Amino acid sequence: MKLPVYLDNNATTPMDPLVLEEMLPFFLEKFGNAASRTHSFGWEAEEAVDIARENVAALIGAHPQEIVFTSGATEAVNLAIKGIWESKTTEKRHIITVSTEHKAVLDTCKHIEKVGGAVTYLPVQTDGIINLEDLKAAIRPDTLLIAVMYANNETGVIQPIRQIGAIAKEHGILFFTDASQALGKIAINVQADDIDLLACSAHKLYGPKGVGALYVRKKNPAVALTAQIDGGGHERSMRSGTLNVPGVVAFGKACEISNEKLTKESERLASLRDRFENQLITLPNVVINGNHTQRLPHATNISFHNIDGEKLIFEAANDIAFSRSSACTSATLEPSYVLKAMGLSDELIHNTFRFSLGRFSTEEQVDHAVKVISKIVKEHRSEGNYGHHQVI
């Protein structure tokens, strides 16, 4: 077994070899610009992009012409929120989002506030899910957009997307979701869910980094966006710039594979995730955070009482790759705002970790990870020295 065992697939996934194989010819042999319309090199690239567009659209139940390729989910988020804000044809100036959104959404919303917009940040319940009554109560006559992520990147908790979409539609409000973590992991259908805009990224489902997409509804209603990048009118004038053809081709292939494997892979990963959790919770004072049923099949967020979290992740590093539920900013460890919103104390957050399995995870790897973590946790507790991270 190769070490360290990789259990941080929510951060990024390894590229599927079949995706790499599909991508490679477009660096050397098929290097044309997809916007070149006068020769076979351009035609070949354009055809490949069209196929990729079809594959991305098929994974979410969209029409291929509703897919706008971007450099990743962050750009897609910015294009969606800023593009809607700048293109508004009414006096609507209010956006509703959630306090546990990815920073790409939260920081974009802060930008909207700086330029005169109003933003309501909904709280979440202790299981990480919003209260739909809070959403309804937050709606104003000038509400332009509701932005709620499909599944959380730290906890894997899935929001009630279909109900949110129905509420938005009932009130004539556009609905945007960041589906970066959910794409290819669970079934998504933008029509059934009344989603008007959806952001996603290739590197979260075994594709390359540096390419993503934004779904933009074409009818019922037709969504108009103001471009955030000007120059050339590419992607139906919504995102100018020469397309990253190798990346787009790879993204399309990754979506095609994920679509084919979706049900069986989700079941296998849920079984592995449960195997991992069920072994760890035999240890005393171990808590699984977030809703236990409405969550992604491959992800878990776990707190360990009475350990030194910093020491655990350092001691496990040679055996397991996983991540904390906190971010390092300017060398200062800040407790996860997602977990704080769910009611966890700062002390416990420091002893909380995100584990996310993937397509290439195995039972052997899971059992090895459990063995390593259990050993370290028991050692910490026997030592009885937890520093300022002690939880009573």
**Beta strand pairing call for 174-178 and 197-201:** parallel
Count the Cβ atoms, other than its own, within 10 Å of residue 170.
11
In angstroms, the Cα distances linking 288 to 74, 172, 174, 369 are: 29, 38, 34, 16
Neighbour-count burial of 329, counting CB atoms closer than 10 A to its CB (0-12 exposed, 13-18 middle, 19+ buried): exposed
Q: How many residues does the chain have?
A: 392
Cα Rg of the chain (Å, integer)? 22
Residue pair 352/306 in contact (Cβ under 8 Å)? The answer is: no
Compute φ and ψ for 193, nearest 5 degrees: -95, 0
Residues 224 and 235: their CA atoms lie apart, in Å, by: 13
Residue pair 245/45 in contact (Cβ under 8 Å)? The answer is: yes
Q: Which of 109, 200, 255, 328 is catalytic?
A: 328
For residue 226, give the nearest of 65, 63, 385, 87 by alpha carbon.
87
For residue 365, give the nearest of 262, 257, 273 by alpha carbon.
273
Token pair listed for 36: 């070149």
For residue 72, give the nearest of 322, 244, 226 by alpha carbon.
244
Residues 23 and 249: their CA atoms lie apart, in Å, by: 6
Residue 328 a catalytic site member? yes
Residue pair 174/216 in contact (Cβ under 8 Å)? The answer is: no
Token pair listed for 122: 């909904």
Q: Which residues are catalytic?
A: 328
